[in-house]
A and B are shown apart, each in its own frame.
Chain A
């Protein structure tokens, strides 16, 4: 099972771009990388998922290098409401094998 490592916390200011990196050295061939956002006392919310290279949607981008041993979630122009915990999940949900990291607490300041 591919374990993940994320920074415990990060600080940013409104309007800045934030990049959160997740290390997953033991990622398996069929594993996908998924990022979630969680606010206190709420369930995680899906942000983005990728397998390799770059994925972009309306809220974020996900960069995955060729060796797939890490991934970077990029949040453009964060606002105060982006203050939350961000989790990197690596695994293959099709065989119910995945690992939730410890999460990165992002604190966005005015």
Chain B
């Protein structure tokens, strides 16, 4: 149980294009999902909290117009990096909170490697 998937696992795009990353909880319903960014040899940095049916809450310094988050259902959240630039190249990881099973914690997806040329 507690499987979270991400798609795609790897994406390479040209500067100026938009990229959508999907995060799915496969065997449980997640009212809350989190989006992280991780640069090489660094810890995870929380970008935003995504709640089903409502607007995402962004951390300080994260541009909400650049990183669009949609949590349309209890099993799917998407992150769209708009007008991507090389500095957006990073490892993006989502996690989902499973309320019905103890402990109350978050389960992570496998991550998406974004490379912007």
Interface residues of A (CB under 8 A from B): 32, 34, 36, 41-46, 49, 87, 93-94, 96, 100-103
Tell me whether A93 and B108 are in contact (CB under 8 A): no
| B62–chain A nearest beta-carbon distance, Å | 14
Tell me whether B57 and A43 are in contact (CB under 8 A): no
Q: Which listed residue, B4, B44, B104, touches A94 by the CB 8 Å rule?
A: B104
With A41-B91, A41-B113, A96-B57 known as contacts, the answer to whether A46 contacts B43 (CB < 8 A) is: no
Cα–Cα distance between A75 and B43 once the two chains are bound (Å): 21
Taking CB atoms, residues of chain A closer than 8 Å to B95 are 43-44
**Binding site of B, secondary structure by majority: helix, strand, loop or mixed?**
strand
With A43-B4, A43-B95, A43-B111 known as contacts, the answer to whether A34 contacts B44 (CB < 8 A) is: no
A-B contact pairs, 20 of them (CB 8 A): A32-B104, A34-B103, A41-B91, A42-B110, A43-B4, A43-B108, A44-B44, A45-B108, A46-B2, A46-B107, A46-B108, A49-B103, A87-B43, A93-B97, A93-B105, A94-B104, A96-B49, A96-B57, A100-B44, A102-B43
Query: On chain B, which size bracket covers the interface?
Result: 20 to 34
Taking CB atoms, residues of chain A closer than 8 Å to B32 are 96
Cα–Cα distance between A46 and B104 once the two chains are bound (Å): 11
B114: Cβ under 8 A from any A Cβ: no
Contact pattern, B 18-32, Cβ under 8 Å of A = 1, otherwise 0: 000000000000001
Q: Which listed residue, A32, A43, A49, A101, touches B43 by the CB 8 Å rule?
A: A101
* Closest chain B residue to A51, Cβ basis: B103
| 7 more A-B residue pairs beyond the given contacts A46-B105, A102-B43, with a C-beta to C-beta distance below 8 A | A41-B91, A43-B93, A43-B95, A44-B93, A45-B108, A94-B104, A96-B49
Tell me whether A103 and B108 are in contact (CB under 8 A): no
Q: List the 7 closest A-B pairs by CB distance, nearest first.
A: A43-B108, A49-B103, A44-B108, A43-B111, A100-B44, A96-B49, A43-B93
* Closest chain B residue to A36, Cβ basis: B108
| Residues from 35 to 91 in B contacting A, C-beta threshold 8 Å | 42-46, 49, 57, 91
